[in-house]
Amino acid sequence: MIENFNEALEILKNHKKIIVTGPQRAGTTIAAKTLAKRLNLEFIDEEEIRVSNKKLFDQIINERNNFTLQCPGMPCNIHSIGNREDVFVIFMIRDVYDILLSQYRINWNYDQLESKKYINAGFDVNINIPSSIIKYHIWNQYQKDKIKNKMELWYECLKTDDMWVDKKDRLHGQERKEKIKVDLKHYKR
């Protein structure tokens, strides 16, 4: 596991197709955005693949270059990357307790939906276990050995980059919505 962000940048500097995945709330967004900026690549949000559309995922991987793709909804199929030389997979690692706290804080209620993706992909999982635990288990027991170019990136190492926003300075929930409303007032005609 990579615990130093500068080390990660050094490893990734020559890669032009980077997939950032892992459990939701494990840092996929900040990691993908930061890597895109530092490596001068396009950031592709999970919305462009409708969170977990395998066909759109494959289309981006096969037809585009120079990007980081943030996709926490795709770990159940990430092993399909296999031995491709041109794709690098980053699997985000964060303490499960912190993931669960973050999910609770933003009222994220998609655990069973995420777990069912693994069942649909042919894995035998218990949908009553938090999806973050399932994702880490399947990654460690089955997927990571099937991918040639990969790295596990520790969430906490992102704190050393200047794009990091400290927890106390982040806007959450209703506070964020109010800020967005205020910001949008400036753009109304």
User: Taking Cα atoms as reference points, which of 177, 169, 161 lies closest to residue 33?
Assistant: 161
Span 117-129, pLDDT tens digits? 999 999 999 999 9
As given in the structure block, the two tokens for residue 123 are 């894995």
Residue pLDDT, tens place only, 51-76:
999 999 999 999 999 999 999 999 99
Q: What is the mean pLDDT of residues 43-55?
A: 95
Distance CA 69, CA 6 (A): 20
The residue-averaged pLDDT of 117-143 equals: 95
pTM of the model: 0.87
Q: Pick from 86, 90, 87: which is nearest to 151 by CA?
A: 90
> Closest by alpha carbon to 92, among 32, 40, 26?
26
Q: Which domains are delineated in the chain?
A: 5-185 (3.40.50)
On the question of pLDDT at 177 being above 90, the answer is no
pLDDT at 175: 52
Q: Supply the DSSP symbol for 41.
A: -
Identify the pLDDT of residue 179.
Answer: 46
- How far apart are the two ends of the chain, measured CA to CA in Å? 50
